[in-house]
């Protein structure tokens, strides 16, 4: 770890730990308190600032999330200091479903967020929109298709009117809710690594079904707290297209078959 960063934060001890596929992560002691520290190149300074803000927003909405303490750039390295989590609690997915449904009920002003942030390492535009269909297609699908074209993948936009008459209330979303971004402490479920914005709650639920999914009790508890609307079973594919395109752009052609299959599911007729 860079000496300048250790001096700035007052780190007296450090231990390298897991916790980020693209970041260097440490359990550190800062002025007698144990903290979780994420570091990367200075280019990640804005991403860490967005993550800290997103975690604070999740906490304000009633979701359990690690408290962010500090972020910045020092010694050519970006850093984010967080509350450490002991993820050895009972895996109570029903409690996670109830927590998410309760937080989703808190409405936002419009669709979007007051700043852009990141979905993984990809910039995520969040300019405000009054209509959900406009937001999803212009702020989510279109930028990923344009990026895919620059990466050598010519993909036509989905020909669908699924969102034309779908008018959800804007809910605060985690935004990147797959199983790797949820865990359990002794106090209950906890979420981390968000990509927050105000959107259709179904987009969060849809992503939980990607990459392994969550257990059945999670969905049962969520729907008992707030049933999903008619049409979710088809709309979820349009929502997950965004994440599949992002993985195509981040990791390459191994995701092209899933993108193509999802577009077939969305084809009219």
**How does pLDDT run across 127-182, given as a tens digit for each residue?**
999 999 999 999 999 999 999 999 999 999 999 999 999 999 999 999 999 999 99
How buried is 46 (Cβ within 10 angstroms: 0-12 exposed, 13-18 middle, 19+ buried)? middle
Does residue 79 carry a pLDDT above 70?
yes
**Would you state the torsion angle of the CA atoms of residues 66, 242, 95, 185, taken in this order, to the nearest 10 degrees?**
-30
Q: Which of 127, 214, 203 is nearest to 179 (CA)?
A: 214
Question: Around Cβ 178, how many Cβ atoms within 10 Å?
Answer: 17
pLDDT per residue over 41-78, tens digit each?
999 999 999 999 999 999 999 999 999 999 999 989 99
Range from 3-12, 22-31, 196-205 that averages highest in pLDDT: 196-205
Each residue's pLDDT tens digit, 186-225: 999 999 999 999 999 999 999 999 988 999 999 999 999 9
pLDDT at 174: 98
Choosing from 46, 176, 193, 200, the catalytic residue is 176
CB-based contacts of 7, cutoff 8 Å, min separation 6? none
Residue 176 annotated to the active site: yes
Query: For residues 1 and 11, is the Cβ–Cβ distance under 8 A?
Result: yes
Q: What is the model's pTM?
A: 0.96
């Amino acid at each position: 770890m860079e000496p300048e960063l250790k001096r700035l934060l007052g780190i007296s001890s450090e231990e390298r730990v897991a916790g980020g596929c693209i970041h260097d992560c440490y359990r550190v002691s800062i002025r007698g308190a144990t903290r979780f520290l994420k570091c990367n190149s200075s280019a990640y300074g804005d991403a860490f600032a967005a993550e800290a803000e997103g975690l604070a927003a999740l906490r304000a909405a009633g979701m359990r999330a690690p408290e962010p303490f500090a972020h910045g750039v020092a010694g050519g390295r970006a850093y984010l200091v967080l509350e450490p989590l002991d993820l050895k609690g009972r895996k109570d997915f029903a409690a996670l479903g109830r927590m998410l449904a309760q937080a989703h009920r808190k409405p936002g002003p419009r669709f979007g967020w007051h700043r852009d942030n990141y979905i993984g390492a990809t910039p995520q535009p969040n300019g405000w929109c009054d209509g959900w269909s406009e937001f999803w297609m212009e702020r989510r699908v279109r930028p990923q298709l344009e990026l895919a074209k620059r990466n050598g993948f010519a993909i036509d936009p989905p020909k669908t009117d699924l969102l034309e008459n779908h008018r959800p209330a804007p809910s605060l979303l985690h935004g990147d809710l797959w199983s790797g971004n949820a865990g359990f402490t002794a106090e209950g479920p906890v979420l981390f690594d968000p990509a927050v914005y105000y959107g259709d709650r179904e987009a969060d639920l849809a992503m939980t079904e990607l990459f392994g999914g969550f257990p059945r009790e999670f969905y049962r508890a969520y729907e008992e707290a707030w049933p999903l609307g008619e049409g979710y079973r088809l709309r979820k594919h349009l929502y997950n297209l965004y994440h599949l395109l992002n993985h195509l752009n981040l990791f390459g052609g191994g995701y092209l078959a899933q993108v193509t299959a999802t577009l077939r599911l969305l084809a009219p007729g």
